Amino acid sequence: MTLRTHIPLEKATNTSQSAAGLCLAVALSLSACGGGNDGSPRDINRSSSEGEGWVKGEFLPADQFAHRCADPRTGSNYPDRAGSILDENNWLRSWVNDTYLWYDEVLDRDPGLYTETESYFRLLRTTERTESGRSKDDFRFTMPTHEYQAMAQSGVSVGYGIQWAIHSPTPPRDIQVVYVEPGSPADEAGVKRGQKLTAVNGLDVVHNNNTAALAIINAGLYPAQAGDNYELKFDGNLNADLTAEAITSSPVPIVKTFETESGTVGYLLFNDHTAVSEQALVDAITSLEGEVMDLILDLRYNGGGYLAIASQLSYMIADTRLTDGKVFEKLSFNDKHPDVNPVTDQPIRPMNFYSETVGLSAPAGEPLPSLQLSRVYVISGSNTCSASEAIINGLRGVDVDVILIGATTCGKPYGFYAQDNCGTTYAMTQFRGENEKGFGDYSEGFAPGSGAPGAVSLPGCSVRDDLRRQLGDPEEWRLAAALQYRESETCPTLSGGSGASMKGTVAPVEDGYIPRSPALQNRIMTGD
């Protein structure tokens, strides 16, 4: 089953929760919809593997069930053996109990009563909530392993090259383009940041409540495979005939400088902590090294990825006298594993600021460049998450001043090791991260200025995302605010003489939900 990483568009209804409404709720928690029994108990044929019986509260080692598969992959590259759904469920149950950060808040359920492993996995989680009422665990997901590897390693996914922001999934729907990949089908068709989607294959997107029409619209928004073709209409009378293809995202698409009265300022748009971003970031920082007095790091759409990338970038930003020998992030696992990493079976060691490449895409062992800065201006949004927040927290831990411009970040001081079993990659919260000073309590996010209740307040300005202007434009509200704050430590209220308030009604109050692969919305450790 392929994970749905988007919010399905929904009918407006005042009735009790329908099947479509249930699917919406499930999609919001990054789980799959459709197929299987969605976790409902069913009797199944039990496996003959050792330890098949279920005794509540008793757990056999996960290794006893690992790679015993109902549908094993073939080939020497895979460790799969013949097994059953029960074996896969038993592995999940033991793996969760051993390594899940909140294992003691999980209701133990008989694995023999569930016919769909991914549905069973959805149930093995805490149901506790944060102080603000958010679900404590919004971060787990499953993906077919080949899709996960393609996305995490290379940033490859099927689509048109459009990054959507969904401000309202119900009528009147508000779906806007926030970013277009250079050279993608959307880019070549003339689709621009800020345009609103109005129709798919001639079907009205804003007000449509027809079930069959919504299925077509959803399929057009999120094409399932390369070659899928849809006509998308945008405001401004743009009709784009788009054919989906495998899109390789550019993790560092914009690097530029601005000349100001007080010196040169660098700007770097960083979208994805994928493996390929290692070399891209080295190249970007090298081009700025020795040229800039300050850096504006744009993380507004960066949901995370490899933690090693966050460590390297933080080192490349900071004065090396501040980072030398210092901790970027300490990992804390559940109370069963105070000293030994339960995934690697190695002593728990903090991740220092990496001063060399680690070989994700650049040759390993090469010295990293450095801007030698004592402060950084970070452009943030509600979709700035996980490894991106680790940059903020890690730099603050060594007394680099972080000025935040934009909106409160997502609040995810947690991470995981992706685990393949039988062709499915599972991810759940396994550790919490803390900086050099031992701080990691930002589950409600980092906020510019006074910010949101419960969030960690940082110096800076709360500013809307300006979808009327392109990223990197010095008049784009968030970038303009960063440049102004650098000069005067004041926050602007109006943009370029238009009379439109940066905190007014031109753009929605929130950034909107930006559907992305969960492989790009996390803090991922490798098994090294």
Cβ proximity of 208 and 202 under 8 Å: no
For 459-513, give the DSSP string. Answer: SEEE----TTS-TT-TTSHHHHHHHHHHHHS----B-TTT--BTTSSSS-SS--B
CATH fold for domain 156-248: Pdz3 Domain (2.30.42)
pTM of the model: 0.82
User: Which of residues 199 and 41 earns the better pLDDT score?
Assistant: 199
Task: pLDDT band for 184, please (50, 70, 90 cuts).
Answer: very high
What is the distance between the terminal CA atoms of the chain, rounded to a whole angstrom?
29
To which residue do tokens 């801007």 refer?
371
The reply to whether omega before 369 is within 30° of 0 (cis) is: no
Cα–Cα dist 194/162, whole Å: 11
| Closest to 366 in 3D by CA, of 281, 274, 273, 292 | 281
Taking only the tens place, the pLDDT of each residue in 445-487 is 999 987 677 899 999 999 999 999 999 999 999 999 999 999 9
Length of the chain: 528
Task: pLDDT band for 519, please (50, 70, 90 cuts).
Answer: very low
Query: Which of 201-215, 396-410, 502-516 shows the lowest per-residue confidence on average (mean pLDDT)?
Result: 502-516
Task: pLDDT band for 18, please (50, 70, 90 cuts).
Answer: very low
Task: pLDDT band for 527, please (50, 70, 90 cuts).
Answer: very low
Domain 254-525: what homologous superfamily?
A: 2-enoyl-CoA Hydratase; Chain A, domain 1 (3.90.226.10)
| Closest to 417 in 3D by CA, of 337, 510, 297 | 337
Q: Domain ranges in the chain?
A: 37-128, 156-248, 254-525
Q: Supply the pLDDT for residue 228.
A: 97
